[in-house]
Structure 1
Amino acid sequence: MQAEEAARRWLADQGVSHVRDGWVSDEKPDALLTANEVAHSWAGDVFAEDLDAADQVRLAFGLLDLLDEYWVTREIRFANEGAEGPLPADVMWDGYRQRLEADRDSEAVTYSLWVDWFEDHATSATAFAEVLGNDIDRIVAEQSKALLRRARRVLECSGPVRWTVKELTYRTAMRLPALHSAVFRGLLASFHDVYGDLEPAVALTFLGQLDLPTNTQHLAELRHVLAAGHKNHYRSPGAWDDALRSCS
């Protein structure tokens, strides 16, 4: 909440304020702006502020809390890779972890992880380790609501992460029945995502160890394609349709 209020004050200093139906700027007070338009127009300016890099990152995450727009995370990534980058890794990844644990919608954050960090093999291993892999043992041991919330959200969008990077984390998460559904959705995404990655034999073994309702959607189909040795929907055209027919 403090970060969000700091971002609200910062936007006000830029002449941007919230009204009932959206946002307005002092420059064009009659033009109603969406949160997405505000993000595209002002989020990048955070990293030109006369603040140290850590405070710039905190302000950017406050803007994300305030606007709930994916584009803010893009500006964070741009700044991390820009001429003044990289950003302080501890502050940046702590910002992701906090929002993955928060009891509020996290779609912008999980989408950012999925398409910007996990699909890029140059960053996926580090990103996955920072948001889940490094502390999966602690999460399974402590089982707090916030930590489990983070684990579920990361597992479910981890399809593009290389199997060699995520296998041990999946295996550890499977020790906790509360994470079985999230592991299943991670396996399903690992098969279906364009950049999804898995090893069929090991994934099939994992699938057999999950305690899932027998009517779990696509459980039978996923078992079918893995048993046939298929690694990815897009590398095996027709395999999923065949599974749908066989399991109907």
Structure 2
Amino acid sequence: MEMRAEEAARRWLADQGVSQVRDGWMSDEKPDALLTANQVAHSWAGDVFAEDLDAADQVRLAFGLLDLLGEYWVTCEIRFANESEEGPLPADVLWDGYRQRLEADRDAEAVTYSLWVDWFEDHATSATAFAEVLGNDIDRVVAERSEALLRRARRVLECSGPVHWTVKELTYRTAMRLPALHSAVFRGLLASFHDAYGDLEPTAALTFLGRLDLPTNTQHLAELRHVLAAGHKNHYRSPGAWDDALRSCS
């Protein structure tokens, strides 16, 4: 599916006069100027949503561009289109696009960054986004345990810091039934404390921490346990707490 989307995007760019060359990209308009993937994303990704295609095919084409270019800006254009007057985009196609790329055995940094800073940090969208990319599926992840599902779960858990605790608590609890996800739950808890918009409940998070099977030398495990035991919810609300933990646990 992804390769087909990527090839469709490559053909679409070719129709715009943009082609990949050995060291980057080239536009017919300026054949002497070598373009980066980021420049291509900024210049052409938004045009996908002006194409004479139905909205679902526009979304699929945009995700193909994401596969081809690997640039976060493509996800920004998808979000802009979702929030535009013509939006919202078809939710099934939008979230299926995210899920497929979270499951793929290839770099997903642009996708996870998009979830983290755009969908999860915005409390108007975080609950829906989290449910769509993991919360609705966590029971299936635990039951099936396929590599693709585990890959998606790990990636989402690790960037889920800004999601409201009440939204993610049950998903964390369910994920903890699988030892293969314990490290990802830990990183989710750590991000929930450290992210500027991170959210957790210290007592519940401390209980979860105590049930995780982690290597004893896991970096920042002792410090996180220390700040949670002291009742701290977030690094930015208690700016000295982490330094105190570092001193206490050294």
TM-score by length of 1: 1.00
Q: CA RMSD in A?
A: 0.2
SS at match of 2:25: strand
Residue 107 of structure 1, CA deviation: 0.1
Question: Over residues 97-136 of structure 1, what are the superposed CA-to-partner deviations in whole Å (9 max), with x where a residue is unaligned?
Answer: 0000000000000000000000000000000000000010
Runs of 4+ deviating beyond 4 Å: none
Residue 165 of structure 1, CA deviation: 0.1
Structure 2 residue aligned with 1:13, among 12, 15, 24? Answer: 15
Question: Over residues 28-63 of structure 1, what are the superposed CA-to-partner deviations in whole Å (9 max), with x where a residue is unaligned?
Answer: 000000000000000000000000000000000000
Equivalent-residue separation in structure 2 for 1:17 and 1:132 (angstroms): 36
Structure 1 residue aligned with 2:196, among 170, 176, 194? Answer: 194
Who is 2:152 aligned against? Answer: 150
Please state if 1:138 is matched with 2:140.
yes
Where in structure 2 are there 5+ consecutive unaligned residues? none
Equivalent-residue separation in structure 2 for 1:66 and 1:169 (angstroms): 32
Structure 2 residue aligned with 1:79, among 72, 78, 81? Answer: 81
Who is 1:212 aligned against? Answer: 214
Equivalent-residue separation in structure 2 for 1:247 and 1:155 (angstroms): 26
Equivalent-residue separation in structure 1 for 2:65 and 2:239 (angstroms): 42
Once the two structures are superposed, the pairs formed by residues 92-241 of structure 1 within 5 Å of their partners are 92-241=94-243
Question: Over residues 198-236 of structure 1, what are the superposed CA-to-partner deviations in whole Å (9 max), with x where a residue is unaligned?
Answer: 000000000000000000000000000000000000000
Residue 83 of structure 1, CA deviation: 1.0
Equivalent-residue separation in structure 1 for 2:154 and 2:203 (angstroms): 23
Equivalent-residue separation in structure 2 for 1:219 and 1:9 (angstroms): 48
Residue 23 of structure 1, CA deviation: 0.3
Residue 20 of structure 1, CA deviation: 0.2
Please state if 1:90 is matched with 2:92.
yes
Equivalent-residue separation in structure 2 for 1:230 and 1:82 (angstroms): 39
Equivalent-residue separation in structure 2 for 1:53 and 1:172 (angstroms): 35
Residue 179 of structure 1, CA deviation: 0.2
Equivalent-residue separation in structure 1 for 2:232 and 2:24 (angstroms): 47
Equivalent-residue separation in structure 2 for 1:31 and 1:243 (angstroms): 52
SS at match of 1:17: strand
Say how many residue pairs are matched. 248
Question: Over residues 113-161 of structure 1, what are the superposed CA-to-partner deviations in whole Å (9 max), with x where a residue is unaligned?
Answer: 0000000000000000000000100000000000000000000000000
Where in structure 1 are there 5+ consecutive unaligned residues? none
Question: Over residues 187-208 of structure 1, what are the superposed CA-to-partner deviations in whole Å (9 max), with x where a residue is unaligned?
Answer: 0000000000000000000000
